[in-house]
Each structure stands twice: as C-alpha cells, then as structure tokens.
Amino acid sequence: MGPLEKLRMLSEATQYEPAEDVSLTGDPLPKAHAPEELIGCISHAATPKGRVPLLKTLVSSACERNCNYCAFRSGRNFQRASFTPEELAYLFLQIYEAGLVKGIFLSSGMIGGGPKTQDRILETAAILRQHHRFTGYLHLKIMPGAERDQIAAGMALADRVSLNLEAPNARRLTTLAPKKGFDDELLTRLTWVHELRQSMRPHTSPSMTTQFVVGAAGESDVELLLTTEQLTRRLGLARAYFSIFSPVPDTPLEMLPPASLTRQRRLYQASFLLRDYGFAAEELPFAQDGNLPLETDPK
C-alpha cells in the first residue's frame, strides 16, 4: 500500500475523532479544496490560531483494545494501515510545502500499550517541529495510560492536546470500553495536563479538549454536562466534543439505534452556556429524564 493510499484510509478513519473541523453546532466544517488524490483528507478547521486547512490522520488504525462501539476494536475484520513516524512526517511536509495545509491532527489506534503508542505520535511530532522546523498548527492526541513525561513532551510540541473520556463517568464507560479505566487511565491524564499547563508560560501553553460518545451507554445529558462543567471549571477544558453514536457492523453495540443529531446540537449549545456565559449545569432546562428538550434551544 502506497503512502497516499494509507493516508486516504487513515484520514477517513478520523471521522470518529471530531476536533477543530467541527463547528459550534457540532456540524462538520466543509472539506477544504484539495487535489483529487487528497479529497477527504483535508478539512477546514477552526483553531485557536484562526481557521486553517488541517490534515487529520491516524498513525495507525490497528488497535489492541476491544471497545464495544469502535470501528477499530481488536478482532474486527477490516483492512488496517500504519505509518512509521518518518513516513508520515515526510508525507505531511510534502502536502504542507505544496501550500495545501497549515496544520495537522495526529491520533492513533493503540498497539503495544499507551506509552509505546504515545512514543510514535511524539516521534512524528518531533520530526516535524525539531528536524524540519514546522511552525504550523499541531494537535496531538494523548493515549490512555500515557506517562506524565510523555504528556509534558507532547505539550511542549503542540498547540492543542486532547484525550477522549468517551463517557461522563466510570459506570457509563464500562458499557463503551470495559477494559479502560476512567479515573486511572483517562481522568488522571487530563489532570496532569492541567497541572503541567500551570508551569508553562500562557502563550506557550497548549489548550486541552476531550470527546464524549453520545447515545450508546444510556447516559443522560445531565451526566454529560455535569462532567463538562467540572472539567471546564477545574481543569480549564477548552472544549468538549460530543460525537453521536452511530452503530458499526461487527461490534457488540451494532444493534443499537443511532443517536439524534438534534441531541448533539443541544449538548453543544448547552456546553457553550457553561463555558462562555457562566451558567451552571443545574440552571439548564433538563426534563425529568435528565435530558435537554430537543425542540427548544437551551438558551
């Protein structure tokens, strides 16, 4: 498989990783203009540095975890692909120097544990920043179980870092990802990011985001927004992304219905009331089932 073929496959896989290419309402921003061989690989992205064309890709779509909703879960029968750090960095620089992108989002499936996978992401970023003096926008994903020193190294390279909580609490995460530890593998890492940011100069400190899967674990909007509020107030979370569940064939949750796009939109609207306007979650107009009314904008 050639580099461009890998890139198309791995960029398509990032549809499960909403990031700066998602608007304030949760709708995807339009794809950027690109040559035919790169169509679908480059998105417009609303970054802290302004709107830029962004390449989103995975280092690898191979994964050892068996998350119940995920297209990349171990044992699922589909074609996977991987880049070496050198291969991915070189390919990205060709696209960057052609003037097609100004930034990159780097994530990965997990192989060999969180620290080993994090090393591959860090090596790719270091090649770009340190060897080729890339000064554009860089968003790095933090892997579950990554070591504190690795997170510090990534923060020194990145404009933004993120780690997917997936669920609002440990009980809900058990349905989505029974082998992941909510507190020790995930929340602890977000806390480390916050602590490390305190020791950095404000203009060099990367922002931090997280992502929730909505509609697969029986979670309510109250649960999602209470956790969002706590992360925003306590840890300085820049943004929560709400990824609506869509059933994937050959996964344990494939028989569940897809979640509502309107629910996703209401969650985004409510999260900005919490982040930007100082509202508390308890002030939001939840129905008796703990969810926001779908027919009404929460503001």
Task: For the chain, list the domains and their CATH numbers.
Answer: 3-283 (3.20.20.70)
Q: Confirm if 142 and 193 have CB atoms less than 8 A apart.
A: yes
> What is the predicted pLDDT for the residue at 257?
97
Determine phi and psi for 106, rounding to 5 degrees: -120, 120
Report pLDDT digits (tens) over 48-89.
Answer: 888 999 999 999 999 999 999 999 999 899 999 999 999 999
pLDDT at 24 over 90: no
List Cα–Cα distances, 140 to 104, 107, 154, 155, in angstroms: 9, 7, 7, 8
List Cα–Cα distances, 278 to 254, 270, 281, 283, 294, in angstroms: 38, 11, 10, 10, 22
CA distance 254 to 70: 10
pLDDT at 31 over 90: no
Q: Confirm if 105 and 17 have CB atoms less than 8 A apart.
A: yes
pLDDT at 197 over 90: yes
> What is the predicted pLDDT for the residue at 188?
98
CA distance 158 to 219: 32
pTM of the model: 0.95
Q: What is the mean pLDDT of residues 98-104?
A: 96
> What is the predicted pLDDT for the residue at 27?
85
> What is the predicted pLDDT for the residue at 134?
97
Q: What is the mean pLDDT of residues 179-189?
A: 97
CA distance 90 to 257: 41
pLDDT band at 26 (very low <50, low <70, confident <90, very high): confident
> What is the predicted pLDDT for the residue at 202?
78
